[in-house]
Amino acid sequence: MEIGIDKIGFYAPHYYVDMVKLAEARGIDPDKFTIGIGQDEMALAPVTQDAVTLAANAALQVLDEVDKEKIDLVLFGTESGIDHSKSAAVYIHHLLGLNPYARSIELKQACYSATAGIQMAKGHIALNPKSKVLVIGSDIARYGLATPGESTQGAGAVAMVISKDPKLLAIENESTYFTNDIMDFWRPLYSDTACVDGKFSNEQYIHFFNTVWEKYKEQTGRSLEDFAALCYHVPYTKMGWKALRTILEEGTEACGERLRAHYETSIQYNRKVGNIYTGSLYLSLLSLLEKNDSLKGGDRIGLYSYGSGAVGEFFTGILQHGYQQHLYVNQHEELFKARQEVSVEEYEEIFADTLPADGSTTSLDAANDPAAVYLSGVEDHKRIYVNRNN
Ligand code: CAA
C-alpha cells in the first residue's frame, strides 16, 4: 500500500517586510540579506495570528467534507506553542470541525516535528488504511529586533493530509535519522525569542545532513543519480544550498545542474516568507511542486529535515502521476499578491505588539486581518479564536 502526502495547504500572514529596506535600516549591505542569506521578503504575523490560527488557515484551504470525516489523527508540529499543557491540535480540531472520534496531539522537536508527524501518520495509516491524518507545521520565528538572527525570521503554516493512495507524493519506507544533544538553537520557557549559536547551527545542519545522507546511501545502495530533486529544511535559502553543494560532486555534471536548478525552484516561496520552522521543508516542497515545469510522476524526491537540538532525517518520496492537478497554485499566487508591505518602523511596532504576559483580559482589533481564522482576544486566561466562515 502506498501512503503519503495527498494534499498540501499553506498560509502566511498578510504582512511582509522588504529585506533590502530592513538591511538599509540596520546599516547593512542589502546584498548580505538577498545574496548572503538569500531572503527577499519576510512574513510578519500581527498579534491576531498565532501558531493555531496560521495552521487553521492553512488547513481550511485544502480540507473537504470527506477529509473532515476521515481524519482521525491530528499531529501538530510547532515550536511556537501557546500553552504548556493543552495541545494546539485540539484547538484546530475544533476550528476545522473535524470528526470528534480523533486523537489530537502536539509534537515538539524544533523544526523537525512535522517530519516526525508524517512518519507517525504513515504507521497509523498502515494499520488503519481507511483513515486520514492531518499533519501541521506552524510557527512564528522570532529572534528579536536588530539581532543577527533577525534576517532569518518569518511566519506561516503548512497543512498536509496524509492518506493511502496519495495524489502528490508517496513516502518510501527507507529513511535515515540521527539524534545528538547539542545547543545550537533553543528557546527557554521564559523567552518569546530564540537563543542561537548561529555559526554552530550552520555547521551542525550540514554535519547532520552529511551523516544521514551517508547512512542512507549505505542502507539503500542508492546514489545522487537516483534523485530528480532534493528539498531541504530552509531556515534561510542559502542554508540548504550550503548543504547540497557538499554532495554535488558525487554525481555527473548534468545531475548537479538538475539538482541545483530544482533547488532554486524549491526556495521561491521561502525567499518571500522566511523561516517558518516546522513548515519550512514542506513550504520548499510545495514551491518545487507548484513552480517546476519538468518533474513528472515516478520521479524520486529526497527530503532533508533538521530540527536544532538536534534531530536530522533524510527520507524520500515518489511523485504521483497527475500531481499537478491537485495543487492550489492560484490560491497561493493570490495569497502572495494580497500581502501588504509594511515599513521597517511599522514592522518594529507589530513585532512589539504582543499579548500581555500575565494573561490579563485583552480584546484585539482584527479589522485589518483578512484571515478566515484569527485570535480575537484573551479572557479568563483563555485564547478566544474566531472562524469567520462559521
Ligand atoms: N554581499 C553578499 N554576501 C554577503 C555580504 C555582502 N555584502 N556580506 C555578508 N555576506 C555573506 C557572508 O559571506 C555569509 O555567507 P556564507 O555563509 O556563505 O559565508 C552570509 O552572507 C551570512 O553572513 P554572516 O555569516 O556574517 O552572517 P551573520 O553572522 O550575521 O548571521 C546567521 C547569519 C548565523 C545565519 C544568523 O542569521 C542566525 O543566527 N540565524 C538563525 C540561525 C539559523 O538560521 N541557523 C541555520 C541552521 S539551524 C536550523 O536550520 C534550525 C532553524 O530553523 C533555526
Residue found under cell 514592522: 347
Give first-to-last CA distance, the chain, whole Å: 37
**pLDDT of res. 316:** 98
Q: pLDDT class for 188, splitting at 50, 70, 90?
A: very high
pLDDT digits (tens, 9 = 90+) for 90-138: 999 999 999 999 999 999 999 999 999 999 999 999 999 999 999 999 9
Identified catalytic residue from 93, 233, 262, 332: 233
**pLDDT of res. 367:** 96
Peptide bond into 114 cis (omega under 30): no
Our answer to whether residue 233 is catalytic in this structure is yes
The CA-CA-CA angle for residues 297, 300, 305, to 5°, reads 130
Closest residue by CA, ligand 1 atom 48:
201
Going by C-alpha positions, the residue among 304, 308, 264 that lies closest to residue 282 is 304
**pLDDT of res. 131:** 98
Residue 52 confidence (pLDDT) above 90: yes
Identified catalytic residue from 14, 106, 111, 262: 111
Closest residue by CA, ligand 1 atom 35:
198
pLDDT digits (tens, 9 = 90+) for 168-183: 999 999 999 999 999 9
Closest residue by CA, ligand 1 atom 5:
32
Question: Residues 7-32: what's their mean pLDDT?
Answer: 98
Closest residue by CA, ligand 1 atom 54:
235
CA 36–ligand 1 middle distance (angstroms): 7
pLDDT digits (tens, 9 = 90+) for 230-271: 999 999 999 999 999 999 999 999 999 999 999 999 999 999
- Average pLDDT over all residues of the chain: 98
Q: Which residues pair with 338 in a beta bridge?
A: none
Q: Hey, what CATH class is 3-168+327-387 in?
A: alpha beta
3-state secondary structure the chain: CCEEEEEEEEECCCEEEEHHHHHHHCCCCHHHHHHHHCCCEEEECCCCCCHHHHHHHHHHCCCCHHHHHHEEEEEEECCCCCCCCCCHHHHHHHHCCCCCCCEEEEECECECHHHHHHHHHHHHHHHCCCCEEEEEEEEEECCCCCCCCHHHCEEEEEEEEEEECCCCEEEEEEEEEEECCCCCEECCCCCCCCEECHHHHHHHHHHHHHHHHHHHHHHHCCCHHHCCEEEECCCCHHHHHHHHCCCHHHCCHHHHHHHHHHHHHHCHHHHHHECCHHHHHHHHHHHHHHHCCCCCCCCEEEEEEEECCCEEEEEEEEECCCHHHHCCHHHHHHHHHCCEECCHHHHHHHHHCCCCCCCCCEECCCCCCCCCEEEEEEECCEEEEEECCC
Q: What are the residue ranges spanned by the domains of the chain?
A: 3-168+327-387, 170-321
The CA-CA-CA angle for residues 7, 178, 308, to 5°, reads 75
Residue found under cell 502506498: 2
CA 142–ligand 1 middle distance (angstroms): 16
Which residues have any ligand 1 atom within 6 Å of their CB? 29, 31-32, 35-37, 111, 148-149, 151-152, 184-185, 196, 198-199, 201-202, 205, 233, 235-236, 239, 275, 277, 306, 308
**pLDDT of res. 271:** 98
In the sheet with 311-319, reading across from the earlier edge strand, the strands are: 103-107, 71-77, 132-141, 154-164, 3-11, 169-179, 311-319, 300-307, 229-232
pLDDT digits (tens, 9 = 90+) for 339-382: 999 999 999 999 999 999 998 999 999 999 999 999 999 999 99
Our answer to whether residue 79 is catalytic in this structure is yes
Tell me how far CA of residue 319 lies from CA of 164, 174, 186, 382, in angstroms: 14, 16, 34, 42
Ligand 1 atom nearest to 202, measured from its CA: 47
Residue 390 confidence (pLDDT) above 90: no
Do the two domains 3-168+327-387 and 170-321 of this chain adopt the same fold?
yes
Closest residue by CA, ligand 1 atom 29:
148
CA 198–ligand 1 middle distance (angstroms): 8
* Distance (Å, whole) CA 80 – CA 53: 12
Q: Give CATH for domain 170-321.
A: 3.40.47.10
Identified catalytic residue from 79, 106, 150, 290: 79
